[in-house]
Structure 1
Amino acid sequence: MSDGASDSVSPAGVLRAAYEAFAAVVDPLEDDESWLPTACTGWAVRDLIFHCLADAQRGLVALHTPAGGAADRDAVSYWADWQPGSVGAANGRRWARVSASMFLDFRQLRELYLETAAATVTAAATTSRSAFVSTQGHTLTADDLMTTLAVEATIHHLDLVSHLASAPGPSAAGLAAVRSTLDGLLGRPAPVDWSDEHYARVGTGRVRLTQTEQALLGAEAARFPLFG
């Protein structure tokens, strides 16, 4: 018999918590709200939901794509390829906007996201944690893949609710995974007393460092954002 407490902090449990928290925001949204802005440059709510749909779909495919050989990325080093301001990031923003606009009825996009995210969570729960899987041209363990999916969903949850005043926030487990990832990229725990939410925003370039924060970080300030 599995231990419910240990299940909740396993990568599959963290992914479930992150996706269910995100889904709780998406589920009641109507068309008018889908046009509100988010904290992602150039994206409305519907654009961001489409991007997260694509990420959940990528996760679902990866969890069913066994890979041979050893992993070349883990839950931290996976993010080394993802930096803000790149050509790839700009192209991704355009692709999400154009693709999301093809849903003339927002409810279709909303329901597709909800069912795909639920399927990804189910797949995660039944995949061997040590299995090697492929995604984005890299090989990771299933555990590490699940963590990266939870981290992305949690960061985008903060983006999503920026203009949805009554919407619930991200899961505590997801925020803890984001903090652990950022600490891993930095090489040590953040030397600044940041909340999980602020660390997530600063660490991914959503918010710029203040002069006080730059002074506390010293030379490490130049490394921010750590990914985005």
Structure 2
Amino acid sequence: MLVEFYAPWCSHCKELKPIYESLADSYDHVKEKVYIARIDADKYKPVVKAQGVKSYPTIKLYMPGSKTGIEYNKERTLEELVKFVDENTGLIGKIKTVESFVVDLDESNFDRIVGDPSNHVMVEFYAPWCGHCKKLKPTYEKIAKDFHKEKNIIIARVDGPANDELNTRYRIGGFPTVYFFEANKRNENPIPYTEGRDEISFVRFLNEKCGTHRVPGGGLDNKVTNNIK
């Protein structure tokens, strides 16, 4: 059994949530052989204390018959977590591919798409080798899916190291860097995204900037659904 000890208020736990959910999906075909579980540390403090957990999130793998977990200490990416479980259990996780609604930009199409005055565009500048970018990826994919029905909102990304001109233009100093380009405004002065890197924070930010009413998961909030009724 793989267990994540988390706290509802922990920002790192919120960032890990979509990755951990994808991890569970990766072992759905052998779910009777390995359980992917979570424990709310605020609700089950005696259990957390007994396991020596002092920070969140903490991930431990418990082998059959053992009460002492093997603690996971590598990058919290889906690929590394699957590798950890595979190596310790002998199982083979299958990372599921999902349809992506994120638009890939480069120097050949950036100005055409971002410069279109009818589009609100959120752009993540990332590096393929960046651990923080890998952690953000599943959340960013969810955001793109949440807003894909909004015709004038585009969730996009730029491979920073492969597009030096764009890096220089927007003074990218680290990865990931996320900018929001408002519709009907020049694209030289985008708004830096500095909120949380969890789905709720991204959805709230985009709703405020774009006047939309999406909720995590892609549905509409009560204001819209009540009007429809």
Taking structure 1 as the reference length, the TM-score comes to 0.32
Q: Which has the higher strand share?
A: 2
Going by fraction, where is helix more abundant, 1 or 2?
A: 1
Q: TM-score, normalised by structure 2?
A: 0.32
